[in-house]
Amino acid sequence: MDHLKPDTGYLLSLKAEVRLLIRTIAGDPDKSLSTIAIDWQEASGPIRLDYAAIVQLISQIPPATEPELLTLIGKLQIIRDELTTAVKPATGLSIAYTALVAGDQRRTGTQSAYGLAQEAFAGLEGPAQRHRVSIKLLSILAILLAFFASWEATKASLGKSLLQTLEPLRTQQAAITAEKLKLEMRIDNAVAPPGTTPDPLARAALHLPLCDRHMLFADATMPSTKPDLRPHATAEIRDVCERDRLLALNFRLAQDELRRFNESWPDLVGGLFKPVSRWAGHVVALVDIGLEQVLPASRFTEPPACPSCNDPIRSEDIEFRIAPIIQVIVSYILPFTLGIVGSLLFVVLDHYTRMRANQLVPRDLALSHLRVILGIVVAVCISLLITGAVGPAVPVQGLPSGSAAPSSLVGSLTLSASLIAFLAGFGAEAVFSLLQTLVQRVFAAPK
């Protein structure tokens, strides 16, 4: 079309745009081409351009004389404007750009909306292809981030459930500890009343926990006059020590599950998580092998052995290491990720809606990128402002002063911040509008 005269090239583009508008009206079940009637004033008098006359005009060969060419262009411009009114809120530009983005091409020798769009708006094919690729990439990114959020949410939910199993155990531990202390005080006062000197075995027993004193008296040499010092001498002591033994066993089982969770939580979940985790491990191993061949070997030296890793206290208190990790996932990683997913979902949904209505225009590509940036900013703000740290320690009856129940470890592990971040990312405009209204009200100038 570049070798044609400007007026002739514009005429061909105008014809392609009119034909594109006619195709759009013909494809809409709520519209009809038979209702098209355009009044045109000529020197010979007024005439009416209906669908048949329009088809005849767009089928004409470009006139040789300039006045006839300009007259035909004027008719087609009026026809274009009337047809645009019929397809509102779409326009010829948006219909053509949507066709180029959708890429609905036909085989050679047949006409398509894609070909008409190329003729009507030359130069839009490049931006339309970039728009198509960008939307595909954003869609793939949204799917990957949604899977990542599901992965992390599963990990956080499993860890929270395992931590919650320790809450009733800690409560039972507090009650049994208090009960054992009372029994020990009562027995010790009975063994060594004021002004008396207990025998050596009884004096040694005073320094042992209640349920460990049977080791000292295993040979049953204790005089029968002091039955309270015999191991599990009463039903009350046997009951307390047996409950204490079962509680220790339950603690060991719960902490073993937490250690398994810390080592490889997908194995606990099962299903698809286990093979996906192993596949991801193989991929990471291959990446490490590739990096070892490129980067210096010093970057891959094994870290020094941890001297406290086998510490029994550190091993038993594994919940105090897992709870902060889950807190970070729930309070920051999930809100941030779901905020981005919400922003990407809005962009993809907006693209889908505009494509169905033939309302895509070239500026939508830049606007979609800016919209994603706004969603990310909102997600970061939500993850930093809405979430809170782990709640304060809650004293429990039976524990020493200053001790806290483990419920404070999981009390604030909720998904409310993730939901708010997702909604804020999806409706970033509403969030910024709300903030603007709030700022205007707070910092309004006095009248």
- CB burial of residue 294 (10 Å; 0-12, 13-18, 19+): exposed
Tell me if 239 is assigned to some domain.
yes
Structural domain of residue 16, as residue ranges? 6-123
Phi, psi of 45 (to 5 degrees): 130, 175
Same-domain status, 119 and 42: yes
Same-domain status, 30 and 106: yes
- The SS3 assignment for 47 reads strand
Say what the pLDDT of residue 209 is.
67
Contact 336, 421 (CB under 8 A): yes
Q: Of 197, 229, 253, which marks where a domain is finished? A: 253
Contact 232, 238 (CB under 8 A): yes
Strand partners, 40: 47
Contact 364, 348 (CB under 8 A): no
Tell me if 411 is assigned to some domain.
no
Same-domain status, 105 and 203: no
Say what the pLDDT of residue 207 is.
58
pTM above 0.85, yes or no: no
Instruction: Give the containing element (helix H, strand E) for 37.
Output: strand 37-42
Same-domain status, 118 and 206: no
Residues 6+ apart with CB under 8 A from 401: 395
Tell me if 238 is assigned to some domain.
yes
Say what the pLDDT of residue 345 is.
92
Say what the pLDDT of residue 192 is.
55
Q: In the numeric block, which tokens belong to residue 257?
A: 């599950």
Tell me if 276 is assigned to some domain.
no
Same-domain status, 185 and 103: no
- The SS3 assignment for 172 reads helix
Say what the pLDDT of residue 38 is.
75
Contact 371, 281 (CB under 8 A): no
Question: Which long-range contacts (C-beta less than 8 Å, at least 24 apart) are formed by 98-101?
Answer: 98/354, 98/355, 98/358, 98/359, 98/360, 99/20, 100/124, 100/125, 100/128, 100/129, 101/128, 101/131, 101/132, 101/135, 101/355, 101/360
Tell me if 347 is assigned to some domain.
no
Q: Of 253, 270, 299, which marks where a domain is finished? A: 253
Contact 413, 326 (CB under 8 A): yes
Say what the pLDDT of residue 215 is.
53
Proportion of the chain in helix, strand, coil states, percent, rounded to 5: 70, 5, 30
Tell me if 310 is assigned to some domain.
no
Same-domain status, 87 and 192: no
Same-domain status, 102 and 195: no
- Structural domains in the chain (count): 2
Same-domain status, 11 and 117: yes
Closest alpha carbon to 376 in 338, 419, 348, 414: 338
Same-domain status, 17 and 102: yes
Same-domain status, 101 and 185: no
Cis peptide bond N-terminal to 400, omega within 30:
no
Tell me if 269 is assigned to some domain.
no
Say what the pLDDT of residue 142 is.
93
Same-domain status, 194 and 119: no
Q: Of 253, 270, 295, which marks where a domain is finished? A: 253
Say what the pLDDT of residue 79 is.
81
Same-domain status, 239 and 177: yes
Tell me if 115 is assigned to some domain.
yes
pLDDT by residue for the chain (447 residues), tens only, comes to 444 566 778 888 888 888 888 888 887 777 777 777 777 766 666 777 777 777 777 777 877 777 888 888 888 888 888 888 888 888 888 888 988 888 766 654 556 788 888 888 888 888 999 999 999 999 999 999 999 998 888 888 888 888 888 888 888 888 888 888 887 777 666 655 555 555 555 555 555 666 766 555 555 444 444 444 444 456 777 788 888 888 888 888 888 888 888 888 888 777 777 777 777 776 767 766 666 666 655 554 555 545 444 444 455 678 788 888 888 888 888 888 888 899 999 999 999 999 888 889 999 999 999 999 888 888 778 777 776 443 434 434 444 433 444 444 444 445 577 888 888 888 888 887 888 888 888 887 655
